[in-house]
A and B are shown apart, each in its own frame.
Chain A
Amino acid sequence: MRFQLTDDQRALRDGVRDLLAGRFDRDALRTAVDTPGHLDRALWRALGDAGFFALCLPEADGGVGLGLPEAVLVFEEAGRVLLPGPLVATHLAAGTVPGAATGESVVTAPAGELLPWRDASDVVQGDATGAVPLSSVDPLTPLHKLPGPHAPRSPEAVLLTAAEQLGSATRTCELAVRYAGEREQFGQPIGAFQAVKHLCAQMLVRAELARAAVYAAAVTADPVEIATAELLADEAAVRNARDCVQVHGGMGFTWEADVHLHLKRAWVRAAAGRTTRETEEELAAAL
């Protein structure tokens, strides 16, 4: 048993991190925030060229031929930088919807009672009848609301969303730690105060537990493990973003700080899956 990243997996993660740092830096993030509903097609195609959407597609079909663990690492990186767009739906449509694998098509699909990015997408996979627009809380995710009962998301969609949540939870922990080490009050960095220090420690603990759950679910693809990953990653992303706001104090309550973008996206992602109640019931039924 070697439950650690392999050298190849590490290299993949670092490669994606570098790619995103180059193609979607903070300026790009802020441009995206300032132009709600607009999807950067050039970026989408660049992601396609890098194999982002074709990662799990067999090599015989023109894909990269990797598995869920690799996809999870890539989506974790996407979550870290708040990469916008219907990433999960397009990734899962690779091989079935023409152009999805290469990033020429943007594909969206219902997620719970929500339909993200409908207007900017080329293809909607699934029933979008009666969708009405919402004024989305997340400036990076335009939303429609769907009427009536909705089909459950695929286990892969749930897991990749959990991976994005994990990336966001890790990132807000890093942002809080950085701020706590820089910001001084009462003559010392606020990170020296136990009240602040303990908030940061709790953020790391949440993220690391979620990481173990998400990675294990990627390796086993077991439904109960995926439910575990979903529950803990949602919690880590939302709670860490809240704590990150708290550590930033007044700054954390401004539009200018990136923290609120993490919180709002975490809310949207959490709402895209099953409700917490449903996940907990599934986990109880498995006992």
Chain B
Amino acid sequence: MQTNIMDNRTLIIGLGNTILSDDGAGILVAREIKKRRNGLKSIDIVEASLGGIGLIDLMADYNTVIIVDSIKTENGNPGTFYKLNINDLGDTAYPCSSHLLDLRTTIELGKKMGYNMPESIDIYAIEIRENTTFSESLSPEVEKAIPELAKKIVEELILI
């Protein structure tokens, strides 16, 4: 167990924008994990507000990456969280937003470029209510979900 942890470089990336209401939920989960990280010596935790190939820089040379982000699905209940695997995401798509690549394309590109991309990538997503109004406040449901998701992720990491 100890050997596995030491050999397995793990990165947690909290994605989002903390001044855009619930959009920063992923970052806040990452901060919460940081508070609970005793015993997780080989875990690195970063906050990021970028996508596309910016993520390649962050993920290269890690064995395992956990991405925590917010999500807004049709009819989703704010505060719900999901665990997704990279294969749960859609096929490689052509982005229209500036400079963005979907995550699968990002991974494929990193490998093609010769980067050491992670073997394992898991995505935790929190359903949010609001991400188009500038505010440092969270929706109550999302605020409540953050420590719960952080706890769940820490527990799963300990079990590795």
Whether A associates with B in a native complex is: no
